[in-house]
Amino acid sequence: MEKIDETAKSVLFTGARTPNSFADTPVSDAEVAAIWELVRWAPTSFNTQPLRVLYVRPGPGRDRLVKHMSEGNQDKTASAPAVAVLAMDTRFHEHMPVLLPFGPDLKEVFAADAEGRSQTATFNATLQAGYFILAIRAVGLAAGPMAGFDSAGVDAEFFPDGRFRSVLVVNIGHPHQGPTSDRLPRLGHDDVVQWAS
């Protein structure tokens, strides 16, 4: 497997920042499509792929979303060129015959196990959400992920049939070229890594 170069590492990790504002440039349909073309390759248990994405641009839909954001996130969400509501599909198992052709019986297994299905959907949609942020960066956009929102309110507003449940809201746009604050510290290798003996 090939390594990515230092520029790619910077775009995805070391140089990437979480923005509070964006340039006025709109996010195009082509850019949105390019994001998913990368996210779709993220690994998930049994290839379940439970993540679903609802995009919201400025307008009435944005107003409906903003009212469910925490106070500190409302202005950021209102001004972002595009916002993605990431959700998990609680009935992801219905796609199993297509997603796992050699294990179509998993559809019935998950159908009979509501708790296991919920745990699988939550874990794997969250995993995919991490890849979603990296994909936004990879196509040259900036991502502002936020957990500060009323998930029950968002779900009632946008997913009233109860099938999808919101996981994360992500503001998306072209990076603003203005000054940013100093980057906050990160824990080092020796702070977090150990080997079992």
pLDDT digit string, tens, across residues 99-139? 999 998 999 999 999 999 999 999 999 999 999 999 999 99
- Name residues whose C-beta falls within 8 Å of residue 168's C-beta, 6 or more positions apart in sequence: 86, 126, 129, 145, 146, 147
CA distance 50 to 171: 21
Could you tell me the sign of the dihedral formed by the alpha carbons of 41, 42, 43, 46, in that order?
negative
Tokens of 51: 């993540």
Give the pLDDT score at 1: 86
CA distance 164 to 173: 25
- Name residues whose C-beta falls within 8 Å of residue 12's C-beta, 6 or more positions apart in sequence: 4, 134, 137, 138
In the block, residue with structure tokens 């994405």? 53
Domain boundaries, the chain: 23-175
**What is the rounded average pLDDT of the residues 76-94?**
97
**What is the rounded average pLDDT of the residues 182-197?**
94
pLDDT at 84 over 80: yes
Query: pTM of the prediction?
Result: 0.95
Share of the chain above pLDDT 70, in %: 98
Position 178 confidence tier, pLDDT thresholds 50, 70, 90: low
CA distance 53 to 58: 17
pLDDT digit string, tens, across residues 15-34? 999 988 899 999 999 999 99
Q: Which residues pair with 53 in a beta bridge?
A: 86
CATH topology of domain 23-175: NADH Oxidase (3.40.109)
Between 17 and 37, where is the model more confident?
37
Side-chain-side CA neighbours of residue 102 (13 Å):
2
pLDDT at 182 over 90: no
Report which residue type is found at 20: N
CA distance 109 to 149: 33
Tokens of 153: 């309110």
- Name residues whose C-beta falls within 8 Å of residue 27's C-beta, 6 or more positions apart in sequence: 57, 81, 82, 141, 172, 173, 174
Between 181 and 44, where is the model more confident?
44
Judged by phi (left if over 0) then psi (alpha if -120 to 50, else beta), residue 162 lies in left
Element (H, E) at 63: helix 60-66
